[in-house]
Amino acid sequence: MTTAEFLQLPDLASRELAGAVVYANDEFFAGRENLISPGLPTFDPAEFGHKGKVYDGWETRRRREPGHDFAIVRLGVPGIVRGIVVDTAWFTGNFPPFASIDGVALDGYPTEQELLDAPWGPILDRVPLQGDAANAFPVEDGRRWTHVRLNIFPDGGVARFRVHGEARPDPAFLTGTIDLAALENGADVVACSNRFYSSPRNIIAPGRSRHMGEGWENARRRDDGNDYVVVRLVGEGRVEHVEIDTSYFVGNAPGFARLSGISTEAELSDESAWIELIPRTGLLPDCRHRFRVDSDVPVKFVRLDVYPDGGIARLRVNGHLK
């Protein structure tokens, strides 16, 4: 998988998916939690604290003994890692020259000591890093991980740590009525007509959106077509009710929406193969719409069409796995 391809996958370590940096052997200059903060790191050349320059990242002290520094991240959603980004933005004379990544899959909620004693396995062998750069590395490994360990050699600063991959949550929690389209349950966006302002993946993110930038917004259409997004569900399932949320889209919500479903990826381009789950229905701005679905036909993909264009905050597709 190329860098461009894996960067399109979700960041399994993101705070937005409930990821956390649960341990670091040293964080003298800058806290470990910054590693998975959303957004780009910031830098103020005039900002200094009692311990030295203030960085928006994780920074350890200069080592005077053998060894190396490391931080452990609990993935927000367990999964298969397809690519790693070790971003050393703003770290120029104090970045680590090398890094490696390990992983482990553990049940439940291991303690700090249990993580330190865990049987870690290699995900990415030791690789060189550039300073003030988003160092990206594809990963060829099909194993499922719950935690990853960032090792830096021997010390230094890292601004952001991104773990892109495919979500593989515990199937024991995918029973009963669940959101079949939730990113945290293993669903993902596979196609989108336009993502000019923001990512369509936002509509299947956890929680409610807090502002317009946390939804999916396309460009204004100047033709006779309409925009759409296709979501691969957690698995094949029967849809019971759907939520189409236009919260915070006030002057730019779609006028109408339609939801359809299909059971196989091979027919995604065949318009006649899709079955209608929600007919073309008018939408209100800044409104959380909820719809019952009467179809008993199981589907693996859903397509949300918006007419002619406009922003969607969230899409929830609630139902049972087949």
pLDDT in tens, 82-98: 999 999 999 999 999 99
Would you call 295 exposed, middle or buried from its count of C-beta atoms within 10 A (0-12, 13-18, 19+)? Answer: middle
Return left, alpha or beta for 313; rule: phi > 0 is left, psi -120 to 50 is alpha, else beta: alpha
Hey, what are 4's tokens? 């461009």
pLDDT the model gives residue 196: 86
pLDDT the model gives residue 46: 72
pLDDT the model gives residue 45: 78
CB atoms near residue 64 (< 10 Å):
7
Between CA 139 and CA 3 the distance in angstroms is 9
Phi, psi of 217 (to 5 degrees): -130, 125
* C-alpha 59 chain-centroid distance: 24
Q: pLDDT (tens digit, 9 = 90+) per residue, 17-52?
A: 999 999 999 998 889 999 999 888 987 777 777 677
| Size of the chain in residues | 322
Between CA 302 and CA 192 the distance in angstroms is 12
245 beta partners? 288, 314
Between CA 169 and CA 188 the distance in angstroms is 13
Hey, what are 171's tokens? 């199937």
pLDDT the model gives residue 71: 98
Between CA 187 and CA 191 the distance in angstroms is 13
pLDDT the model gives residue 51: 74
306 beta partners? 227, 257
By the 8 A CB rule, do 149 and 102 touch? yes
pLDDT the model gives residue 42: 87
Report which of 132, 131, 133, 126 is spatially closest to residue 152, judged by C-alpha positions: 126
pLDDT the model gives residue 256: 98
pLDDT the model gives residue 322: 86
Dihedral angle, C-alpha 199, 204, 208, 211, nearest 10 °: 10
State the pTM of this model: 0.87
Tell me, what amino acid is at 42?
T
Place of tokens 């336009």: 194
Between CA 35 and CA 162 the distance in angstroms is 8
How far CA 184 is from CA of 18, 168, 170, 173, 203, in Å, comes to 9, 9, 10, 11, 12
pLDDT the model gives residue 84: 98
pLDDT the model gives residue 269: 87
Place of tokens 């899409």: 315
How far CA 178 is from CA of 17, 159, 185, 291, in Å, comes to 17, 36, 9, 15
pLDDT the model gives residue 43: 78
Low-confidence ranges of the chain (pLDDT < 50): none
Between CA 243 and CA 176 the distance in angstroms is 18
Report which of 64, 29, 299, 248 is spatially closest to residue 158, judged by C-alpha positions: 29
